[in-house]
Amino acid sequence: MNKKVVITIAVLLLVIVTAFLLVRKSTPTSGAVTINVIGEDYSPMQGLEKIKGDFTQETGINVVISKFDAETLRKKSIGDFQASATNYDVIMGAFYDSGLFASNQWVLNISQSLERQGWRDPAVDLNNFSEPILNLCCRYRNQLYALPCSAQSMYLWYRKDLFENNLEREAFKKKYGYELPSPTAQRSMTWSHYKDVAEFFTRPKGAKVAGQTLEQPLFGTVMQAKNHVALWFEFNNFLHSFGGRFVGTDGKTVEIDSPPAKAALDYYIGLKKFSPPGTLNYTWDEALAAFQNSQIAMAIMWSDSISAVEDPNSSRVSGKVGYAANPTLDGGEPGSVFGGWGLFVNAKSAHPQEAVRFIQWANRPDVQIKWAKVGGIPATLSTYTSADYASIPGAQAHLESLKHLIGWSTDPYSARMIEVGQNTLARAVAGEVSSDQALRELAARIREVTAQQ
């Protein structure tokens, strides 16, 4: 054989072997592993879908995300757990289910997992997370069972184009004798003022607002008052600021049948006259749609819906919405209901190390910024000091809300307490029972739930 040909073949083989070794070195030992993730079909998980390719590029681990509405997600997740199924390696779980998942040993103990050799990502510092968020959606009995998936909270949305209009400001002061509130991320208004503002901006079709003739009715606020978990969440903002609680800090002592709770429920029911006529059938979806359609002047809404209301392709009020602290009873500290989710790893997963690697990657500071830009709700403290994050609508109000989170029990019976709560509250808001009767019934039903544990 020709010497030149031999040399050429040898060089070619050397190149091929070198390339193979380099590929082996850059590809994780997991090879072509695929991890399956299940989550809510909403902005945080939709955003994670958009950036998951970065994880695959870095690690060689494929990620398949299945998205469902919140109720279907919970049913499928719990059903799989009960059947010891392995359809999903990573589960997006609601904060109130963390105790249920952990106590049944359906999910990995992440505290223990991160102590295993080679499992911990050094770029993820647990001190970079807000302690209230970890306690509410990831910990159970001082052990970590998840890392955050989203840290959404509820706070005031308002139509800044209406609130800042000089004609409206003059008319409001003339009618009520004080200035139309100018909400900020730190302070907005009292509940008394909120009711006045809701009344003021409730106008029929054909009336004027900010100098323009309304082509449809405008409502001062909107309530998420359907017999649905949305009602329980929304009402908790009112209940907390009026000084009431469903249960005490021990998670069992019932406090819902109290004068502050009755005052909060009576106030909440009184907002129906300033809300759309279909508000008794509204969840967060219908409330968001009404806000997007320019029908609502202000409301207490979820931070993970901001990307939708700011989308010019689906919202008539994009660029016209301001975000601020929730109202308070007497000017005290505002409270904000937390609705965060955690990323849990199925204890039966065939790829637990890869799954733990993925949930850490999602909480890496550089990834959190990317995720936030496409709908994520960050939980890392360093994200909030980033100029990139500060440019996202609602960022400052979201940051402030996380300083005043309204906590909730994470015990295994938490979801059942929410269910009985929403059912009874819905009857009161619909006028089927008085607020007194509703709260007495609710107190009795919660005592039954906690006694079963």
Q: Of 77-81, 248-252, 392-396, where does mean pLDDT reach its minimum?
A: 248-252
Q: What is the mean pLDDT of the chain?
A: 90
Least Cα distance to 418 among 94, 147, 105, 116 occurs for 94
Give per-residue burial for 264-299: e unless 16+ CB within 10 Å, then b. bbebbbebbebbbeebbebbbbbbbbbbbebbbbbb
Which CATH architecture does the domain made up of 154-338+410-451 adopt? 3-Layer(aba) Sandwich (3.40)
pLDDT of residue 11: 39
- Is 8's pLDDT higher than 50? no
Phi-psi bin for 358: left (phi > 0), alpha (psi -120 to 50), beta?
A: alpha
Reported as type and span, the H/E element at residue 441 is helix 435-451
| pTM for this model (two decimals) | 0.85
212-218 mean pLDDT:
98
- For the chain, the domains span 31-152+339-406, 154-338+410-451
Least Cα distance to 89 among 107, 109, 70, 114 occurs for 107
Between 269 and 375, the more confident residue is 269
Which pLDDT tens digit goes with each residue over 231-282?
Answer: 999 999 999 999 999 988 777 788 999 999 999 999 999 999 999 999 999 9
- Is 163's pLDDT higher than 90? yes
Spatial CB neighbours of 275, under 8 Å, sequence gap ≥ 6: 219, 220, 221, 222, 223, 225
Q: Is it true that domain 31-152+339-406 has CATH number 3.40.190.10?
A: yes
453: confidence class by pLDDT, cuts 50, 70, 90: low
Which pLDDT tens digit goes with each residue over 19-46?
Answer: 333 333 333 444 589 999 999 998 899 9
Contact (Cβ atoms closer than 8 angstroms) between residue 167 and residue 321 = no
Which pLDDT tens digit goes with each residue over 407-451?
Answer: 777 888 888 989 999 999 999 999 999 999 999 999 999 999 888
184-203 mean pLDDT:
97
The owner of tokens 């060689």 is 60
**DSSP characters over 77-114:** HHHHHHTT--S-SEEEEEGGGHHHHHHTT-B--HHHHT
322-334 mean pLDDT:
92
pLDDT of residue 31: 54
Pairwise CA distance, residues 27 & 286, whole Å: 46
Q: Of 36-40, 47-51, 381-385, where does mean pLDDT reach its minimum?
A: 381-385
pLDDT of residue 385: 81
